[in-house]
Structure 1
């Protein structure tokens, strides 16, 4: 089974999304953060589940969608690094 590691940028993204959502609905913010932190665990057994983003080659960067959020990650040997996440309506 692969190891899952959160980068500091990905963790900052979670905090930023929570803070934004909590302004209007703290319960929805908590639920969103819970699903965003739980969803990537399925990658430990199926790391290539997400669509590959070829613009980052030779790095193996992929993405999955969790509800309306995009989660980008990179596979390096036996480790999956969660790189960034954001709402699909945000500009990146």
Structure 2
């Protein structure tokens, strides 16, 4: 399956990097690199992570990468990376 980043997920990556770079530039680069490569394992295991039933009929799942949550949708022939955020962020 092909992995595709949505505009929202790409913007999340930039936002997280900018937030961290202000206080820890090395950590920001390391974390963004880790988050950028986290979906690689979804190519082999697209149903990795917890299924989120409230998105039915879409198959949306979440994986935890360090202190970050990454949501992805399994669509026809591709995996869409939807959003990424730190677990301490208020997502209400």
TM-score (norm 1): 0.97
**CA offset digits 1:12-58 (Å, max 9, x no partner):** 00000000000000000000000000111100110001110000001
| Count of aligned pairs between the two proteins | 91
The aligned residue for residue 42 of structure 1 is 41
Alignment of 1:1-92 (within 5 A): 2-92=1-91
RMSD over equivalenced CA pairs, Å = 0.5
Quote how far apart the aligned CAs of 1:71 are: 0.2
Quote how far apart the aligned CAs of 1:77 are: 1.7
